[in-house]
Amino acid sequence: MHCGVRCQVMRHPLAVAFTLVLLIAAGAAAAGEPAGRTPKPAIEPARAGTQCVAAPDVMRRDHPSLLKHQRDETVHRGVREAQSSLKACIGCHASAATGSVAQAKTDFCSSCHSYAAVQIDCFECHSSRPQKQVAQVGAAKP
């Protein structure tokens, strides 16, 4: 004899309960992602055909100390031709859309920082945009 849904429930109460638990768990997992959570940063690609001053995983971890080290080299020791220059970061990482690394929320530095809740004051003094003229004059020197 064919056994209908009700009959199944009578015969297999455990199986039915298990299915319900699964359904509830799935619902909870879907609801577990709080609404309005900051989305993962979509990191702007760097200028095509370039390489970073260090491997990307190193940069992700060490860029704060690289930058601070470079700043001390420049400000206290007058070294200006260095690799970890903030100007160089901006030259390669400025957004094609906004021309900046930190103007829009989607720009390179700000996308990641707002995700990680990091605040930097660097761009109160430093330009967040490449300074093409200055860079070219510098590059043209022998």
Residues in touch with ligand HEC (CB under 6 A): 43, 45-47, 50-53, 56, 59-60, 63-64, 66-67, 70-71, 74-75, 80, 84-89, 91-93, 101, 108-109, 112-113, 116, 118, 120-122, 124-126
Q: Nearer Cβ to ligand HEC, position 16 or 114?
A: 114
Q: Nearer Cβ to ligand HEC, position 10 or 55?
A: 55
3-class SS letters over the chain = CCCCHHHHHHHCHHHHHHHHHHHHHHHHHHHHCCCCCCCCCCCCCCCCCCCCCCCHHHHHHHHHHHHHHHHHHHHHHCCCCCCCCHHHHHHHHCCCCCCCCCCCCCCHHHHHHHHHCCCCCHHHCCCCCCCHHHHHHHHHCC
User: CB of 112: closest distance to ligand HEC in angstroms?
Assistant: 3
User: CB of 68: closest distance to ligand HEC in angstroms?
Assistant: 6
